[in-house]
Structure 1
Amino acid sequence: MPTGWRKASYSGQNAGCVEVGRVGGGAAVRDTKDRAAGYLTATRDQWARFIEAINTDRYR
């Protein structure tokens, strides 16, 4: 079960954002508007590659 959920820093007071939590050897992501819907998980390596892609604007 994920622990330590944190809301995205860019969301401010906006309710329409995501939260990231720790799980096993990786991360879990959920929608703050529908926490009951569950969450997605990623391994540590998958999460690191995802963050690297965001930081290098690969998704733009």
Structure 2
Amino acid sequence: MTEKEMMQKNVEEFERLQDYMISCEKDSEVYKKMKRRYTALKVILTASGINLTELDIIKE
């Protein structure tokens, strides 16, 4: 998998994860688990030079 393909995969996962997070309660166990992945993806994408201003709809 090329670097570009990996970044695309991570962006798509980040978008999909945010959709799931929006659809559940913030105090649920599921949300807390998704929040850990959300944070990890933010770090990965930011380190890859991707500007999350437009992509990050959760903004936590």
Q: TM-score normalised to the size of structure 2?
A: 0.30
TM (norm. structure 1) is: 0.30
Q: Please state which structure has a larger fraction of its residues in helix.
A: 2
Name the structure, 1 or 2, with higher relative contact order (CA <8 Å, separation 6+).
2
